[in-house]
Chains A and B, each alone.
Chain A
Amino acid sequence: MFAYCTDPASLDGLAWLACYLTTGKHMAFYASFGTVMLLLAVTAPTALLFGFGGAVAARARFLPVRMLGKTYIAIVRSVPDIAFFLFFVIALDQGLEYLRLLALCPDWDQPVRQGNDFVVCSAAKLPSNSAPQWVHEVYGFLLAMFTFAIVFGAFAANVLFGAMMAVPRAQIETAEAYGMTRAQTFRRILVPQMWVYALPGLSNLWMVLVKATPLLFLLGVEDIVYWARELGGSVTPRFSDYPHSDWRVWYFLALLVFYLLLTRVSEIVLERLMKRLTFGQATTGGMAA
Chain B
Amino acid sequence: MSCVETIADYALRSIGFGERLLPREGYTLCQQFTLIGSGMIWNIYFGVLALCSGFVLAVALAVGKASANPLFRKPAEWVIFVFRGSPLFIQFFFAYLLFLSLKNSYPFFGAFTAAWAGALVVLFLNTAAYSGEIFYGALRSIPRGDMEAAEAYGITGWNKFRRITFPTMLRLAWPAYTNEAIFLFHATTLVFFSGFPAWQQRGDALYYANYFADKTFNPFVPYPILAFYFILLTLSVVGLFALASRRLNRHLPREARQKLRLRPNFLR
Interface residues of A (CB under 8 A from B): 73-75, 77-83, 86-87, 90-91, 94, 113, 116-118, 155, 158-159, 162, 201, 204-205, 208, 210-215, 217-218, 225, 228, 232, 246, 248-249, 252-253, 255-256, 259-260, 263-264
Contacts and interface: CB of A to CB of B under 8 A. Distances in A.
A259 to B, nearest CB: 4
A248 B97 contact: yes
Interface in B200-223: 206, 209-210, 213, 215-220, 223
For the residues of B in contact with A, the DSSP-based class is helix
Given A155-B267, A215-B89, A249-B97, A80 B217 contact: no
B38 to A, nearest CB: 17
B263 A158 contact: yes
Contact of A75 (B193, B209, B217, B227): B227
A83 B190 contact: no
A80 to B, nearest CB: 4
Given A87-B219, A116-B216, A116-B217, A214 B87 contact: yes
B215 A116 contact: yes
A218 B193 contact: yes
A207 B264 CA distance: 17
Given A78-B234, A249-B101, A118 B217 contact: yes
Given A74-B263, A87-B219, A87-B223, A252 B94 contact: yes
A249 B94 contact: yes
Contact of A80 (B86, B206, B235): B206
Interface of B: 27, 81-82, 84-91, 93-94, 97-98, 100-101, 182, 185-187, 189-190, 193, 206, 209-210, 213, 215-220, 223, 226-227, 230-231, 234-235, 263, 265-268
Contacts of A263: 84-86
B189 A83 contact: yes
Nearest to A159: B265
Contact of B193 (A82, A94, A211): A82
9 contacts: A80-B189, A86-B210, A90-B213, A90-B217, A116-B27, A201-B267, A205-B267, A214-B89, A256-B82
Contact of A264 (B85, B209, B268): B85
Top 9 closest A-B pairs, CB basis?
A80-B186, A263-B85, A249-B97, A87-B223, A211-B87, A252-B94, A162-B265, A90-B219, A214-B89
Given A80-B206, A87-B219, 12 more contacts: A78-B227, A78-B230, A80-B185, A94-B219, A116-B215, A116-B218, A211-B86, A249-B98, A252-B97, A255-B90, A256-B90, A263-B84
A79 B231 contact: yes
A90 B215 CA distance: 13
A196 to B, nearest CB: 15
Contacts of A78: 182, 227, 230-231, 234-235
Contacts of A213: 87
A158 B265 CA distance: 7
Contacts of B88: 211
Nearest to B187: A80
A260 B86 contact: yes
Contacts, number: 123
B93 A86 contact: no
B106 to A, nearest CB: 15
Given A205-B267, A249-B98, A252-B90, A118 B227 contact: no
A264 B86 CA distance: 10
Contacts of A204: 266-267
A113 to B, nearest CB: 7
B259 to A, nearest CB: 15
A82 B94 contact: no
A162 B42 CA distance: 34
A225 B90 contact: yes
Contacts of A211: 86-88
B85 to A, nearest CB: 4
A244 to B, nearest CB: 13
A87 B27 CA distance: 18
A260 B189 CA distance: 23
A83 B226 contact: yes
A23 B265 CA distance: 46
A246 B100 CA distance: 10
A104 B216 CA distance: 25
A83 B215 contact: no
B212 to A, nearest CB: 10
Contacts of A248: 93, 97
B206 A83 contact: yes
A167 to B, nearest CB: 14
Contacts of A91: 219-220
Contacts of B220: 91
A228 B101 CA distance: 16
Contacts of B213: 86-87, 90
A208 B267 CA distance: 8
Contacts of B81: 260
Given A83-B209, A87-B219, A158-B263, A259 B87 contact: yes
